[in-house]
Amino acid sequence: MKPRDLVAILNVPKAERLALIAEGLELLAEHVSTLRDDLMHLQEAGRSRGAAVIDGLASEEAAKMLILLDVVRMGWSDTAAVRGKLRNFYSHLARGIYARLVAGRPADLAEVRRYAEFLRRELYLDGPNDVDWIFRNSVEADREESLYVGYVTSEGDSAWITPARLSDLQLHSWPSMVVDLALALHRLGCTSEKGLEIIAKEWDRFPLDDDTHWVKVQAINKRVLSNLHAAGLCGDDLTRADIRLALEQWIFPLGGVDLSLIRVTKTELLAERERWVARES
């Protein structure tokens, strides 16, 4: 047995791949839905710390659904690109980036790429002047600080951190958007084999580059939803909110967007800060 081996899907005949992906999507949708229900119970009970942990897990599982749907949207012609996307399925960072990107309103693919590049940085500068302090990757930090007690050092200061801080987030709104988006796409019929065929057909050979504007993506989303409805694939529990989410937040396919970690050293950031101070003085 070899775990974490989704790339092996490339060894399956192309005619059988959508059925295999649909099987995984159905399992993921059931898991995300169950986690969402548990999350809502915790939130209603005022258990914010547990709710945050479950929301983080549900968000990563929902992001897996979007990754699989992106594999379908990008097609099979570029094997190297597909292999990279399949590997994103197992990356905490890639899944976290997906969860953040779907909450935005990017105008074009270039904007998506710029935001993704920022989220990929191992370390970055921020603060009132944008250069005041060095922070670690925000996606990884938020995930780990919600799950674990740890001891961290930052520019000479050290301290214990604990998820206990999440107990004070009584006003936080859960679940995260990526959870509701993934489940909306499931209720629309996107996760069925026939739904995947419709998605693949609409995206086949679509020329996607950094200049591609959101309105073109939204137009394809509209056609996909219309065809899903015409094929009778939409669930009886589909809501208007589901349709709105799919139309407005199912963003650009990220097949060509690198989601791997960008290595950044503290020395590089200190030099960048010094240059900023020199310009401003």
Beta carbons within 8 Å of 196's beta carbon, 6+ residues apart:
18, 21, 22, 25, 69, 72, 190
Amino acid at 5: D
Beta carbons within 8 Å of 119's beta carbon, 6+ residues apart:
96, 97, 100, 137, 138, 139
Give average pLDDT by consecutive 10-residue segment, the chain, 281 residues: 88 96 98 97 89 95 98 94 94 97 93 96 94 94 93 84 76 84 98 98 93 95 97 96 96 94 95 92 78
Give the pLDDT of residue 2. 78
Instruction: Please give the model's pTM, rounded to 2 decimal places.
Output: 0.94
Distance CA 274, CA 154 (A): 18
Give the pLDDT of residue 56. 95
Task: Dump pLDDT digits (tens) for 152-175.
Answer: 887 768 889 999 877 765 556 679
Give the pLDDT of residue 166. 75
Give the pLDDT of residue 168. 65
- Cα angle value 158/164/165 (rounded, 5°): 75
Distance CA 99, CA 31 (A): 17
Angle between helical axes of 79-88 and 48-74 (0-180°, round to 10): 170
Question: Residue with structure tokens 């190297």?
Answer: 80
Torsion 48-53-56-60 (CA) sign:
negative
